[in-house]
Amino acid sequence: MKELARTLKALSEETRLEMIALLLTHEELCVCDFVETLGLTQSKTSRHLRYLHAAGLVDDRREGLWVNYRLSSSLSKEQEQILEAVSLAIGDERKRALDERLRHWLERKAQRRDSAQKQTS
């Protein structure tokens, strides 16, 4: 029962629901991807992700200075069922809108990376 309460509390905030929606359709995202897609500060983004992590919904992976997040590899059956329901409840239109914002950010991110690599070459 405690896990169920923690899970539902973690999902009781709109920003965290948007983060989960993004992770349901993208294998792994960097904190900066959430910052740019959702228009949040880095500190607010990290706080929301820590909340999801503490509830056992996401795993994190460090890559140098970067922290990447993905849905937890050890979700309980109940958590999986809840996330399936969340995905349905969010709806395709909202997921498409989030994916579109993320896609625009990822394009800008790639352009910045390419530009930086050309400058160092």
Asked if 46 and 31 touch (Cβ cutoff 8 Å), the reply is yes
Retrieve residue 21's tokens.
Answer: 């929606």
All structural domains of the chain, each given as residue ranges with its CATH number in brackets, are 2-120 (1.10.10.10)
pLDDT tens column, 88-117: 999 999 999 999 999 999 999 998 877 777
pLDDT over 90, % of the chain: 84
pTM of the model: 0.91
Q: How far is CA 71 from the centre of its chain?
A: 8
101 CB-side CA count, 13 A: 17
As a whole number, mean pLDDT of residues 74-95 equals 96
Asked if 60 and 97 touch (Cβ cutoff 8 Å), the reply is no
pLDDT at 121: 62
